[in-house]
Amino acid sequence: MKKLLLTVFCLFSIMSFAVADEAKFDFTNPSGLTPSITDDKFSETSTEGAYEFGTSETTFTNNGVTINTTDGTTISRIWKAASGKYDFRLYKTATMTIAAPQGETITSIVFAGNEVSSFSANNGTINGKNWSGSAEEVVFTWADNAKTQKINTITVTFGDGTAEPDNGGNEEPEEEMDITTIDNVAEGAECKILGTVVAVNAKSFLVEDETSIILVYMNDVPGVANGDEVTVQGTISTYAGMLQFSEGSKVVKTGNKNNVTYPEVTVLNADKVDELFANPDIQYVEYSGKLSVSGNYYNVAIENTTVICSITSPTEEEKKSLTDGSVITVTGYTTGAITSSNGGTYLNTIATEIEVTEAAPGGSEGDNNEDNNDSDNSTATAYTVAEAIAAYVEGEKIPAIVTGYIVGAMNSTGYVAEFGTTTVNTNILLSDNVDETDEANCIIVQLPQGEIREKLNLVDNPSKYKKKVALTGSLEKYFNVAGLKNTSAYKFINENENGNDNDNGNDNENSIKSVEAENGNAVIFDLTGRKVNNIATPGIYIVNGKKVLVK
């Protein structure tokens, strides 16, 4: 398929009246701001591959509108990633004041960016990323639990738009356009297309007409399905080397096709991956490999190339089949190439089909109930959280059973620990202290898709907060620190008034609560309730009903 570009059939309209004025602050192009922030004003920081320019004392102006910020937990800043992309970053408890020109009122403020949420305003109404109302000045405040805000643009509308007609003409109808191949389309053009949805993920979708395909980025559940016929109207921008409709585009369903016909698939090898990374293009492809899941990232390594194929924003249904360590075959469309701040290179794809060809190692067998998922862990060593952190060796995968209290989760945005109430369902924080609030004393446990995530995550199971649990997995690097990944089994543990550990629901013959002396010999169980003949490795064991630490 030829390189995707867009014919400029933009919406030129002869307006019958004077409309409200507008000021757009584009932080993806800081040299175009007032004051201009050019690359020579950026200074290298300790953050890997990133550059910053503090803006706490800067007032941005455009068409008489001003923007000021106060710092939150970190200085507000223009951010330049190693990939060359820019955005405006604010942090929890920061404020932003937007003021209209003297004598005017602001009626609309639209934020666009990957992360814009958890903020309030001193007046008006907030709907998602949009503010509406009537005010000379609006003060936004970000919550003390807000994620890092990554703002691309802020569009401010002011004035009332009630001036008398200036030419007596009528507004021309908006005209739909074709998606086609032309060069040098200016970003910021307002355009409209009609086409068919051919691929959907959790935040965007692809639209195809008779000439080409284009991505529509929503940063939200798109609300469309394959085969839907839609019109899309919005602003054109560039991301990952590809043209796309920006966040905030208007999408209207006009019909549905029963079937989507896909082109002949291209099987990706190393050479083809490198070619698509160097020259981004939308192509229908297939690739296979071992899946690596880390937070919200789902990556497949291809042999003989350093470029990783990344499944972008998979849907909740797709995530059910995406288990870390499994071997999968992905069919779908490539949607661009990016270089991360740490130098990683990725070829983005939207999947249309995912097939698991080899399940992830591990798993659980035996009788399970709601609060127990035991498996044979004969090669794993039992640890407390502190012992597990001490036993971790970077670059190694150490089979382990770690016992501790569930105290929170780690947010992948900024690596922020959330204790107690959390918004994260993909991992939990485990600690030896039931009231822990220091992430340094915790180990991060990965929750794979399926029963383990469904039963242990604190978003869906808040009652599991401060519960004691034994978890089986491998000690390895997770969130750049010691973690427990490939979690394959769990067992909740009650502590009785004597301080001994009991299980809470699995009455099989080897459960911990059945411990008793047999013919005067020691009866030994590990923390998963599995009876063992002798103590072969260091760890915590139940010997004749008492907890024993063996070093």
Q: How confident is the model at residue 222 (pLDDT cuts 50, 70, 90)?
A: confident
Q: What is the dihedral of CA 55, 58, 59, 62, to 10 degrees?
A: -70
| 377-550 belongs to CATH 2.40.50.200 | yes
- pLDDT above 90 for 5: no
DSSP 325: T
What are the backbone angles phi and psi of residue 170, rounded to the nearest 5°?
A: -110, 150
Distance CA 71, CA 539 (A): 47
Average pLDDT for 398-422: 85
Note whether 243 and 227 are within 8 A (CB).
no
Q: Where are the domains of the chain?
A: 21-158, 266-358, 377-550
Q: How confident is the model at residue 466 (pLDDT cuts 50, 70, 90)?
A: very high
- pLDDT above 90 for 362: no
pLDDT tens digits for range 480-516: 788 999 888 898 887 543 333 333 333 333 333 333 3
Distance CA 339, CA 415 (A): 20
What are the backbone angles phi and psi of residue 454, rounded to the nearest 5°?
A: -60, -35
What are the backbone angles phi and psi of residue 386, rounded to the nearest 5°?
A: -60, -40
Q: What Rg, from alpha-carbon coordinates, does the chain have?
A: 28
Beta bridge partners of 78: 53, 88
Average pLDDT for 279-298: 89
- pLDDT above 80 for 376: no
pLDDT tens digits for range 383-408: 999 999 988 888 788 899 999 999 99
Res 14: pLDDT = 33
Q: How confident is the model at residue 217 (pLDDT cuts 50, 70, 90)?
A: very high
Res 364: pLDDT = 37
- pLDDT above 80 for 347: yes
Res 444: pLDDT = 94
Entry pTM = 0.41
Q: Please check whether the two domains, 266-358 and 377-550, share a CATH topology.
A: yes
Note whether 436 and 418 are within 8 A (CB).
no
Strands 416-419 and 398-411 come out as antiparallel
Cβ neighbors of 452 (< 8 A, separation 6 or more) are 373, 487, 488, 489, 490
235 or 369: whose pLDDT is higher? Answer: 235
Architecture of domain 266-358: Beta Barrel (2.40)
DSSP 17: S
Distance CA 344, CA 336 (A): 14
pLDDT tens digits for range 64-78: 899 998 888 888 888
Q: What share of the chain is helix, strand, coil (3-state, %, to 5)?
A: 5, 45, 45
Res 433: pLDDT = 93
- pLDDT above 60 for 543: yes
The owner of tokens 């965007």 is 204
Res 3: pLDDT = 37
The closest of 395, 393, 423 to 409, measured between CA atoms, is 423
Distance CA 325, CA 72 (A): 39
Average pLDDT, the chain: 78
Res 498: pLDDT = 32
Q: For residue 477, what are its two tokens? A: 């690097």
**Distance of alpha carbon 53 from the chain centroid:** 25
Res 430: pLDDT = 95
Res 547: pLDDT = 58
Is the preceding peptide bond at 165 cis, omega within 30 degrees of 0?
A: no
Distance CA 166, CA 19 (A): 11
pLDDT tens digits for range 79-117: 887 667 888 888 889 999 999 988 889 999 999 887 788
